A and B are shown apart, each in its own frame.
Chain A
Amino acid sequence: MKEFFDKNFCLEVWGDYACFTRPEMKVERVSYDVMTPSAARAIFEAIFWKPAIEWKITKIEVLNPIKWINLRRNEVGAVANDKSDGIIIEDARQQRAGLFLKDVRYRIYADLVFIPPAKRKNTPNHLPEYLVDSAEKSELTERKLNDDHPNENPGKYNAMFERRAKKGQCFFQPYLGCREFSAFFKLMDPKKEPSVPIEETRDLGFMLYDMDYSNPEDIRPAFFRAKLENGVINIPDWNSEEVRK
């Protein structure tokens, strides 16, 4: 069994607006002061993700001073339903105000964690039974890979990510907290271009780390105590004590 190591990547992301919504002020959106690990993970996943890998955020650096803006937007109050004729804004208009961040720039560092084939979750086959050919069924549902497969190694996935990030390829446009706030990204080498984070140090209180999807029936939030030290937030490991689940 070969021993594999996880490589750490750095992305610089920036955008005009950002909203890392606080769970308690979700209706009249109020953003956290800095990016949440959950949002950072979403940016990496927008560029590259497969069931074989997992992104673990290690550090977030704030490069631009924290600026706020208050906006009021027209939204809808009803939930879309495939049986209805659609939502008419005039009947279901809800105006929601929001306190968002302006002109943000971050450097996010994450480990690309390689998941050995044996430990990967069985991706469910979404085809209904009557469409699956019995001959193909074994191919589609059984796991062909085992841990000793020569092509299953982290180097492959690291290279894939690097290629995509350098070219600016992504599955969907990365966003800063909410989909409407698009993000621009660039792969960085921190040794060649060291960052200059802002000079702020403060305690940000409990911040949302990420959602715990281990039980799909009951998805729960996890929090950690975020401390901004000279513009850098060190993110504790998911399984450490600091993350309250």
Chain B
Amino acid sequence: MILQALYEYAQRKGDELPEDGFEDVEIKYLIKIREDGSLVDLISTIENKKGHVYQKVPMRVARTSSPKASLLLDNAEYVLGIPKQIKENDPNYEAKQKKAYEKALICNELFIKEIENLPADVLNEKEIKAVIAFYRGNKQNGFDKIPFCEHWEECQKTTGNLSLILDGKDSIVPQLESIRKYQRFITAKKSETKDDSETDNTTGVCLITGEKSVITRLHSATSIKNSQATAPLVGFNKDSFLSYGKKQSFNAPVSVKAEISYTKALNYLIGSKNNRFFLGNDTVIFWAEKKESQSFEEMFSAFFATDFDNPDRNVREVKNLFAAVQTGKYEKIDSDSNFYVLCLSPNSGRISVRFWETGKVEQFANRIKQHFDDFEIDRAPYEAEYLNLYQILSATALEHKMENVAPNLIGSVMQSVLKGLPYPATLQQQCIRRIRAEQKVTRERAAILKAYINRFNRYKNIKEEVSVSLDRNCTNKGYLLGRLFAVFEKVQQDTHPGLNATITDRFYGAASTNPVTVFAQLIKLNQHHLGNYENKGLRITREKEIGEIMNSIESFPAHLNLNEQSQFAIGYYHEKQSFFEKTENK
């Protein structure tokens, strides 16, 4: 299904995707040379930790354990012969380092040979002549001078790609027209293949197209954030993964044509800014089956991630979504076309599928709207109107850092949103934990708890619902206690301005878990504080509020369970927010 959907996307996009055999690659360092092969400099293209992406360069080869060089662009081991650095405390350091040196030499040779094996008419180009001179003829002024360059130190540590550029030119050597023509020629030859070592002539039924054709032995790499650059989506890199005596990708027959299409589509989606966003360590890509749903495609990432270039986009898109759902725009556009969401996660040299969602655009739109509705809660006017996933999840993490979020939680929350299911229980648990640790109920945390309870109740057909703002008629034990606690805190703050530690800091944990132990003392304290009021009117208001809440409380329970603790937090938050309301009808 996944590969099939990608293949269909490639067919739909057609020319917008880079041509067969080409790709857009990020290249971090360029070796600038003169026509005679002497070195000008080693320049770095890095800006904001990312190198410049060069368009339409010959596709790099899929590598296994044996060295194989790509044409005119590759990593430091191939281009400059820089060996892998073995850690010095490794037991076999000397032997391993020696081996690494030898391997680097072999790789470098292969790289140079790849260039030397180009057809004669390409070899005549002055750029190619310069490159060969750099490595061979003019080696002392060329290749040997590299270590003297400014960026040499950082280049040695990099895992990125390097390439060559001729002094005075704007485009790099792999972008030469004759190189492109050559690449087209060998790509065409590969799909027909008579004697290409990569396919060994095996024919079979392709599991994407269902046609009988030549099967590819290796699938190209798909590079996602935090994965190894050579990790393919479909790969069999250990013996224990093989079956029926088949080797490598013959375990899953995909025709050469289909493989090129789907990897192209996959890499395009991963590379594009509009069709992907990052969820912690994972990469989420999404696309629509038909062109008409393009507008939804463009909106999609705004619901989940912050667009750093355009922070207002988040709010704007959600508003558009609400409007569209109300007017029924999505039902009209497409009742038949699908929308796909794929979440990929890196896993030691491979890529694993975290989740895969398909559905109609209308379905997704409704569910996302439901998600935002659930998260709506009373808030200060300066706070953001709609919360994105990062804000929600970082509220459950230590120091609000995304790396401290529970690993599976990010994917699970996203899945709950897309499927319309209750949020994971971990979300509620982590949220309560954070509240207890910091003794602070922020808007995000209150929203999370409210959303969790409402969705859970809806799923189980329980009629109880937590409201957006203060609900004076709610009789839930936890809610009332939370409200009471908030009023007590307010009284203390009114009468003792400038306190360092309020009752919240001291008593929140105990009050929300074992109310009977602390509320007696809190009421006593409260009476003292009430006596300190100078403004009699305000005192009466507060007393009225306390009276109203106490009316509905029968007794102080010994223990509140997790749901009741959530209600406590929400009640506390609602009551506090109500103190900021303009007193219209008081």
Interface check A140, CB cutoff 8 A: no
Q: Please judge, given known A-B contacts A78-B239, A205-B4, A221-B253, whether A28 and B353 are in contact too, CB under 8 Å.
A: yes
Q: Which of A27, A95, A220, A225 contacts B204 (CB 8 A)?
A: A220
User: Closest Cβ of chain A: how far from B446's Cβ, in Å?
Assistant: 29
Q: Are A26 and B252 in contact (CB under 8 A)?
A: yes
A-B residue pair count with CB separations less than 8 angstroms: 98
B49 touches A (CB below 8 Å): no
Asked if A77 is an interface residue, CB under 8 A from chain B, the answer is: yes
Stretch at the interface among A3-11, A68-76, A150-158, A169-177: A68-76
The answer to whether A99 and B1 touch across the interface, beta carbons within 8 angstroms, is: no
The answer to whether A79 touches B239 (Cβ under 8 A) is yes
- Check B80 for interface membership: any CB of A closer than 8 A: no
Contacts of B239 in A (CB 8 A): 77-79
In this assembly, does B234 line the interface, its C-beta being within 8 Å of a C-beta of chain A?
A: yes
Query: Does B251 contact A70, Cβ atoms closer than 8 Å?
Result: no
Asked if A94 contacts B240 (CB within 8 A), the reply is yes
Chain B residue numbers with a CB within 8 Å of A95 are 347-348
Contacts A77-B238, A244-B212; A26 near B251 (Cβ below 8 A)? yes
Q: Does chain A have a CB within 8 A of B352?
A: yes
| Chain A residues with CB below 8 A from B204, complex form | 220-221
In the complex, how many angstroms separate the beta carbon of B394 from the nearest chain A beta carbon? 22
Interface string of B204-235 (1 = CB under 8 A from A): 11011111100000000000000000000111
- A contact face: mostly helix, strand, loop, or mixed: strand
Query: Nearest-CB distance from B576 to chain A (Å)?
Result: 38
Q: Are A221 and B205 in contact (CB under 8 A)?
A: yes
- Closest 9 A-B residue pairs measured CB to CB? A28-B352, A24-B252, A23-B252, A97-B352, A205-B4, A77-B238, A244-B205, A219-B244, A79-B239
Type the 1/0 row for B326-363, where 1 means its CB is closer than 8 Å to any CB of A. 00000000000000000001011011111110000000
Q: Mark A62-88, 1 if CB is under 8 A from B, else 0.
A: 000000101010011111000000000
Q: For the complex, is B580 an interface residue (Cβ under 8 Å from A)? A: no
**Cβ contacts under 8 Å, A25 to chain B:** 2, 233-234, 252, 353
Q: Which of B351-377 contact A (CB under 8 A)?
A: 351-356
Whether a CB of chain A sits under 8 angstroms from the CB of B509 is: no
A134–B519 CA distance with the chains assembled, in angstroms: 95
Q: Judge whether B236 is part of the interface by a CB distance below 8 angstroms.
A: yes
Cα separation A77 to B243 with both chains bound (whole Å): 13
Q: Which residue of A lies closest to B245 (CB)?
A: A219
Question: Which residue of chain A is the closest to B412 with respect to CB atoms?
Answer: A70
With a CB–CB cut-off of 8 A, which chain A residues contact B408? 70
Q: Are B354 and A70 in contact (CB under 8 A)?
A: yes
Report, as a range, how many residues of chain B touch the other chain. Answer: 35 or more
Contact A27–B350 (Cβ < 8 Å) = yes
Interface residues, chain A, with chain B CB atoms under 8 Å away: 22-28, 30, 32-33, 68, 70, 72, 75-79, 94-99, 204-206, 208, 211, 219-223, 225, 244-245
Q: Please tell me if the beta carbons of B253 and A28 are within 8 angstroms of each other in the complex.
A: no
Judging by beta carbons under 8 Å apart, are B2 and A30 in contact?
Answer: yes
Q: How far is the CA of A27 from the CA of B1 in the complex (A)?
A: 16
| Separation of A75 and B238 alpha carbons in the complex (Å) | 12
Q: B241 in the interface, Cβ–Cβ < 8 Å?
A: yes
Instruction: Tell which of A68, A72, A244 has the most Cβ of chain B within 10 Å.
Output: A244
Can you name 25 A-B pairs with beta carbons within 8 Å? Answer: A23-B251, A25-B233, A25-B234, A26-B236, A26-B251, A27-B238, A27-B241, A28-B347, A33-B1, A68-B355, A68-B415, A72-B347, A76-B240, A95-B348, A96-B352, A97-B345, A97-B352, A99-B353, A205-B1, A205-B4, A206-B207, A220-B204, A221-B207, A222-B205, A223-B210
| Cross-interface CB contact of A28 among B240, B251, B350, B411, cutoff 8 Å | B350
| Sample of 7 further A-B pairs with CB below 8 A, known A26-B251, A78-B240, A221-B204 | A23-B207, A25-B353, A27-B238, A78-B239, A95-B348, A96-B347, A220-B204
Q: Which of A32, A70, A77, A96 has the most CB of B within 10 A?
A: A70
